[in-house]
Structure 1
Amino acid sequence: MDFRQLVNRLPKGSSFTILSDSCHSGCLIDKEKEQIGPSTVSSLGLRDGDGTAPFIPKAKSIPFDSLLHFLSTLTKINTSDIGTHLLQCFGADASLRFHMPREELDAPIDPPLKPDEGILLSGCQANETCVDVNPWSSAASAGGGGGAGKAYGAFSNAVQTVLRENPRRRLSNREVVAAARAVLEAQGFAQHPCLYCSDENADASFLWQPQVADV
């Protein structure tokens, strides 16, 4: 099930915020509007990549015949149906798409898709990877930092840093992502956090924050 289908089942007046500190996490919510990302950074005055034109990733794919040949060598089954191979390889862990009857898969989504209640703060663009950081160590790498502390996502750490440095301000989702981008850039990381949501939710407060007067 796509996150979009979960978002569309929310009660009226509620929202669903996802802070995804995982690789290729941009665009996790289908058809959600990009507020900060590869196609909007220039107009927002944010830098992307080398600081010039925004980077528009090219789609990448594996040829169907190559994928089918690889799966066939694993399953020893002579069929062109990818679902059959995936079910054989992964069993109950295979996607519901390959378990559900065709009529259920083809049934229209109820309610229909609508880009309004979902809020996605992604740790990077869809074509990028997220790195781990160890705040208690001077070294940080894509494989996780060393030292006594436990490594976790650099984006998560950046968001915590932003909130910690603004204890008397109620930050919006847009402000949190923009500030987290700046933190990661200052730390030398190449990933670019993104924000996908409606215009209204972009300026709404990020999750729970202390009830303080706006300044």
Structure 2
Amino acid sequence: MEGQTNKRLATLVGCNYVGTPYELRGCINDVDAVRDTLVARFGFAPADVAVLTDVRGAEVLPTGANIRRALADMVARAAPGDVLFFHYSGHGTLVPPQHGEGGAEKEAIVPSDFNLITDVDFRLLVDRVPPGASFTIVSDSCHSGGLIDQEKEQIGPSVCFDSGAPPTRTARFVPYVALLDHLSAISGMPSSIHIADHLVALFGADASAKFHAHGRSGNGSTLSTALAPASAPTQPRPDEGILLSGCQTNETSADVPSYEASGGKACGAFSSAVQSVLAAHPTPMSNRELVAKARAVLNEVGFEQHPCLYCTDANAEAPFLSQGKEEAAVGAALL
């Protein structure tokens, strides 16, 4: 239709893991705040913002399969010029290399059913984004730096700030050993084997593409086409993936039980810092500026975590969520 504007699509996920040993307090509050900001400031239609949380009574839980499906559906709807956004608040973890892989531990988020979504899964999603569209990921979780495999670091471990004693908080981190013990109790397999074997046995084709050899599950079934690595590149290439992570790969992100900056509500320190920066700056800010200012906010109040930015050089200087003059006017009117 003539004059039709580009779409703005979002998927927001918050996992509090209520009733488990890994319970958090602020993740669902983060999602509520982000949803309000997307609609009020950035021009997202409420119907185009999908929300998955593990709040009691939720019809669709943020399981690994459900999150993958929501993200794949969002990417499938995208056309050139569209703005895609994924916010995740919850636990993160590091996965050691499988036998024979070598290399360093890799990043993953922890859905409500512990069916990990890895850096490889996010790389496969980013590679499906149409040219000219953008896919911004904000991950307020531990070890979230580098969560898009092979994405270029713009702000990362080489940029540091001194910090004082951190406020009271809980790390949004599930240790690898704890994940193994939890999954082993369900799968019935010994915890001495790699987590990939547990996840493939429990979730089959819904397990991370990282844990499948040649795009096939351990039971012989073909991986879901949503994330199957049919033509994943072996070398980094310019793309439209933009990652704003709550911390560096070797750090934890804070879940704060009560924080003045969030009206006394439980929240994620990084999510709250981003909200504070956006509220103080109604005019468009680049992705680089937003991460740098969020770093400064966290440093000022003593959080020992350093948000990072991963994207192309052009996207580092592009406005966060492609905010234009119309959205900026709305943001200024809200102050």
TM exceeding 0.5: yes
Paired residues for 1:8-157 under 5 Å:
8-39=127-158, 41=159, 47=161, 75=188, 84-88=197-201, 90-91=202-203, 94-95=207-208, 97-98=211-212, 100-101=216-217, 109-110=230-231, 112=233, 113-133=236-256, 137=259, 149-157=264-272
CA distance change for structure 1 residues 76 and 199 in 2, over 3 Å: closer, same or farther? Answer: closer
Q: Which amino acid aligns with 1:191?
A: Q
1:181 matched to 2:295? The reply is yes
8 Å CA contact retained: 2:143, 2:247: yes
| Equivalent position SS for 1:2 | helix
Q: 1:209 Cα shift?
A: 3.3
8 Å CA contact retained: 1:18, 1:121: yes
Q: 2:311 aligns with which of 194, 197, 201?
A: 197
Q: 1:160 aligns with which of 272, 275, 279?
A: 275
Q: 1:209 aligns with which of 298, 302, 323?
A: 323
Structure 1: distance between partners of 2:307 and 2:151: 15
8 Å CA contact retained: 1:9, 1:111: no
CA distance change for structure 1 residues 37 and 12 in 2, over 3 Å: closer, same or farther? Answer: same
Q: Which amino acid aligns with 1:125?
A: Q
Q: Which amino acid aligns with 1:179?
A: K
Q: 1:149 Cα shift?
A: 4.4
Q: 1:152 Cα shift?
A: 1.5
CA distance change for structure 1 residues 166 and 157 in 2, over 3 Å: closer, same or farther? Answer: same
Q: Which amino acid aligns with 2:216?
A: M
Instruction: Pick the structure with greater CA Rg.
Output: 1
CA distance change for structure 1 residues 110 and 174 in 2, over 3 Å: closer, same or farther? Answer: same
Q: 1:202 Cα shift?
A: 0.1
Task: State the aligned residue count.
Answer: 182
Q: Which amino acid aligns with 2:231?
A: D
The structure where strand makes up a greater share of residues is 2
Q: 1:118 Cα shift?
A: 0.7
Q: 1:116 Cα shift?
A: 2.4
Q: 1:94 Cα shift?
A: 4.5
Structure 2: distance between partners of 1:164 and 1:27: 27
Q: For 1:133-167, what per-residue CA distance to the aligned partner results, in whole angstroms no more than 9, with x for missing partners?
A: 356x45x9xxxx9xx84311111111111111112
State the Cα RMSD in Å: 3.9
1:6 matched to 2:125? The reply is yes
Structure 1 portions without partners, runs of 5+:
51-61
Structure 2: distance between partners of 1:87 and 1:10: 27
Structure 1: distance between partners of 2:194 and 2:308: 36
Structure 1: distance between partners of 2:245 and 2:150: 15
Q: Which amino acid aligns with 2:281?
A: N
Structure 2: distance between partners of 1:175 and 1:131: 21
Structure 2: distance between partners of 1:81 and 1:165: 46
Of structures 1 and 2, the one with the larger relative CO (CA 8 A, separation 6+) is 1
Structure 2: distance between partners of 1:5 and 1:36: 22
Structure 2 portions without partners, runs of 5+:
1-119, 165-175, 330-335
8 Å CA contact retained: 1:36, 1:195: yes
Q: For 1:36-65, what per-residue CA distance to the aligned partner results, in whole angstroms no more than 9, with x for missing partners?
A: 0013x2xxxx53679xxxxxxxxxxx8xxx
